[in-house]
Structure 1
Amino acid sequence: MKALRNYLDKIKPNFEEGGKYQALRSVFDGFETFLFVPNTTSKTGTHIHDAIDSKRIMSLVVIALIPALLFGMYNVGYQHFLATGVEGSFIEKFVYGFLAVLPKIIVSYVVGLGIEFVVAQWKKEEIQEGFLVSGMLIPMIVPVDCPLWMLAVATAFSVIFAKEVFGGTGMNIFNPALITRAFLFFAYPTKMSGDTVWVSGDSIFGLGKTVDGLTAATPLGVAKVAECPAFSWDMVTGLIPGSIGETSVIAIAIGAVILLWS
């Protein structure tokens, strides 16, 4: 880490005012403070003067989201194999879900952080770290079948109109992730409701079986006529159709414990 610190110190003048790459000053600052805790603290006001900054807190929240995200990836594969009637191992189901979810995470971060980088550079401010959490939450609260271009449009809308216009992290009155979900629900309702949007019907790199259509009863519909106690347990473990990161009570509870004990 010392070698990396020395390297960053060496190239830092290039990104400062008057440097060769001053146009990327905010990007460099965001990358540097993500890797290393800044050596500055607040001087006035009622603040706690310690080494913990917003990036460390946001990173901890991202860690707390990982159990629900990993289970969501497995559940995506599980639901696909279950709906198509194909047998698959645990690894096959997880890899299928991972490949289905990963592009959504990439799109969310590229669009959201890209806008924040541009705004920070335009305003000559530090890059705000709030989207570290929002970028993870957004893919977790949408259906697996949500098209990437829709996710990109909704993410851009939420970052600009629910966050940046209010001044950025800490000053926005709306949650960007929830605004993303609301935008998708009202702008593209057919992609956010119905039985088929919660299960992927595509084959990914040869994994899974492609089907022309899927149909299944909703959890509430099954609950109405269910007689098997195992159904209630599935709703706790999360092995039911739903948004990528919302189905497992256990995985979400693990994240809550991580936050409470940190």
Structure 2
Amino acid sequence: MTSLPPLREVIARHGLSASKALGQNFLFDEQLLDRIAAIPGNLDGRPVLEIGPGPGGLTRALLRAGAMVTAIERDPRCLPALADLSEAFPGQLELIEGDALAIDQASLFDTPFAVVANLPYNVGTALLVDWLSSDRWPPAWSSLTLMFQREVAERIVAKPGSGTFGRLAVLSQWRSSASLAMKVHRSAFTPPPKVMSAIVHIEPGDMPEGVRPAMLSRVTEAAFGQRRKMLRQSLKPVPGAIAALEALGIDPTKRAETLAIDEFVALARVLS
């Protein structure tokens, strides 16, 4: 590995600036980036998918940890800076230009891969729901280590009964474990976003039998789409849902945030 110039110098040399339209915010603190890369455990020789690497701050940390990184970057301005990393870490980095939402990520790997990413704010939730909604389980990914706005991160790890408990929490926890791994202050970014950030770590668990992920997704979307209404109102668009509530002994006057995750799973199982 050759010595690398500071990230600020790389960005200046390539004339880069964070794009608001692409949801970009750059991290320069290399010690912080190394800490993020350590969250999934030992990455030496392991395949890693990174979404939205930008100028390559987190990419550097992953490569230093020995990871075999496949990076998907939509912004062509960042590709020259990332190409410099390919030269510095021969054989460790594969660059793909494109939209991660439009790419079959699993087809890029022969073995389970870890996902580590400072996700662009404008596509982070959509990517997470896509990873969590797979019919294949265990999924192609072995873990997800993802940076979100802190408000979103807290919704992902929320527990039933809390004000932040919702669809993201159910999808993240019904067959996975989700934890808040690290909080990141807004001052760590350039430019500083208006909100704080946090990193969530998710690992797949056992798949409940008899449940179709698409049905659980539909039930939670309906239930939390009108979260202030009682279940007997919010679940009306889902055929059979009200009868299923009665069959399971779930009070239809409850609101969605008061149900346990197991109750959502049981409901989806009946409807599946």
More strand by share: 2
Could you say whether these structures have the same fold, taking a TM-score greater than 0.5 normalized by the shorter chain as the test? no
TM-score by length of 2: 0.25
More helix by share: 1
Answer 1 or 2: higher relative contact order, Cα 8 Å, separation at least 6: 1
Q: Which structure has the bigger radius of gyration?
A: 1
